[in-house]
Amino acid sequence: MSTLPKVAWIGLGIMGSPMSENLIKAGYQVTGFTLEQEKLDRLSAAGGTAAGSIAEAVRDADVIVTMVPASPQVEAIAYGPDGILENARSGALLVDMSSITPQTSVDLAKAAKDKGVRVLDAPVSGGEAGAVEAVLSIMVGGEQADFDEAGPLLEALGKTIVLCGPHGSGQTVKAANQLIVAVNIQACAEAVVFLEKSGVDLRAALDVLNGGLAGSTVLTRKKDNFLARDFKPGFRIDLHHKDMGIVTDAARTVGAALPVGAVVAQLVASLRAQGDGGLDHSALLRAVERLSGDRV
C-alpha cells in the first residue's frame, strides 16, 4: 500500500498530461479531471483514474494540483458549489501550477484558508519538453511548511524548485520568466532572419552561437523549430500573450519600466492578431519574416 499522498489533478493539457503521468511513474495515485474525454482516456491508460467532476476528483485527495491556462479558469475550478474549495477536505494542500496574476494567487490563498485548505502558487518554466522530461523549473509562493510538504511531489516534476516568498511570489517570478523568454525568442528570431539574409549556413551559425555567451536554453530548445519552421505548439502564442499582459500590468503597478518588454509584448500581440495564436511562441520568427518582406 502506497504511503504517498493521494493526488487530484485538474487540467490535462499540453503540460498537465505529461506532468500527471510523471507523478504516476513516481508511484503516486492520481485521480484527474479535465473537460476533454480523450485526455481522461490518456490518464487512465497511463495508470491514473479519471473522475467525472472536480468534486469527485478532489474529495479524497491529500494534494490537489491544478494546471489550467489563466486566472479565469483557476477561479472557475476553485470557486462555487462544484469547485475545489467547496469539495476538498479540510487540511488538503492545493498546488496551483497555472500561470496567473499574482493577485489571483493571493486571493485564492485567502479564500482557501477560510475552508481549511492550504495553497501554494507553483508556476513552471520549461515548456512541453521540460514537462515530459520532468526537468521543469518551479517557482513557488506560500508557506515554508507547505513547500516542504510538497517537496517530494514537486521533485517528481522538476529539477529546479525554489520557494520565492509569500503567496503570489511564484507568479511574480513566473511573469519575469516569461518576459525573459519572450525577449530571448524575439532576439533569436531576428538573428535567424539576419543570418539567412546574409547567406550564412544557419545551422552552423546557431550551433556556434549557442556555444558562447549568446547561448541559452531558449536557443537550445527552439533551434530546431527555427531551422525547420516547425511551430507545433509546445507553448502557444495565445498563452504567452496572456503572460505578457500579466508582466506589463504588474510592472506598471510597482513602477518598473519595461521598455524592451513592452515592444515584445506588442509583437506577440501582433502575431496573435494575424491568426498565429495557436502556434508555438517560436513562431515569433514568422513576424520578423513578415516585417522583413519574406512572408505574407
* Closest-CA residue to 246 (of 162, 156, 175, 146): 175
Residue 56, domain member (yes or no): yes
- Residues 256 and 177 both lie in one domain: yes
pLDDT under 50 in the chain at which residues? none
Residue 217, domain member (yes or no): yes
Residue 14, domain member (yes or no): yes
- Residues 121 and 182 both lie in one domain: no
For position 294, what pLDDT does the model report?
A: 87
Residue 296, domain member (yes or no): no
pLDDT digits (tens, 9 = 90+) for 147-177: 999 999 999 999 999 999 999 999 999 999 9
- Residues 128 and 270 both lie in one domain: no
Query: What is the C-alpha to C-alpha distance for residues 253 and 244, in angstroms, rounded to an integer?
Result: 14
- Residues 29 and 154 both lie in one domain: yes
- Residues 63 and 146 both lie in one domain: yes
For position 52, what pLDDT does the model report?
A: 96
Contact 146, 98 (CB under 8 A): no
Which of 39, 174, 223, 242 does the annotation list as catalytic? Answer: 174
Last residue of a domain, one of 166, 187, 204: 166
Residue 235, domain member (yes or no): yes
Q: What is the CATH number of the domain that holds 257?
A: 1.10.1040.10
- Indicate the angle between helix axes 237-254 and 169-197, nearest 10 degrees: 120
Query: What is the C-alpha to C-alpha distance for residues 66 and 46, in angstroms, rounded to an integer?
Result: 18
| Residue 277: domain span | 172-291
Residue 21, domain member (yes or no): yes
What are the b/e assignments for 139-173, b being 16+ CB within 10 Å?
A: bbbbeeebbebbeebbebbbeebebbeebbbbbbb
- Residues 122 and 137 both lie in one domain: yes
- Residues 110 and 182 both lie in one domain: no
- Residues 39 and 151 both lie in one domain: yes
Last residue of a domain, one of 140, 166, 192: 166
Query: What is the C-alpha to C-alpha distance for residues 279 and 284, in angstroms, rounded to an integer?
Result: 9
Residue 180, domain member (yes or no): yes
- Residues 86 and 33 both lie in one domain: yes
- Residues 162 and 42 both lie in one domain: yes
- Residues 65 and 130 both lie in one domain: yes
How far apart, in Å, are the Cα atoms of 239 and each of 6, 46, 53, 202? 30, 27, 25, 28
- Residues 124 and 192 both lie in one domain: no
Torsion on CA atoms 73, 79, 84, 88, rounded to nearest 10:
160
Structural domains in the chain (count):
2
Please indicate whether residue 174 is annotated as part of the active site: yes
Q: What is the CATH number of the domain that holds 113?
A: 3.40.50.720
Residue 1, domain member (yes or no): no
For position 234, what pLDDT does the model report?
A: 87
Query: What is the C-alpha to C-alpha distance for residues 284 and 30, in angstroms, rounded to an integer?
Result: 36
Last residue of a domain, one of 109, 136, 166: 166
C-alpha cell at 203: 545551422
For position 296, what pLDDT does the model report?
A: 57
Query: What is the C-alpha to C-alpha distance for residues 285 and 296, in angstroms, rounded to an integer?
Result: 13
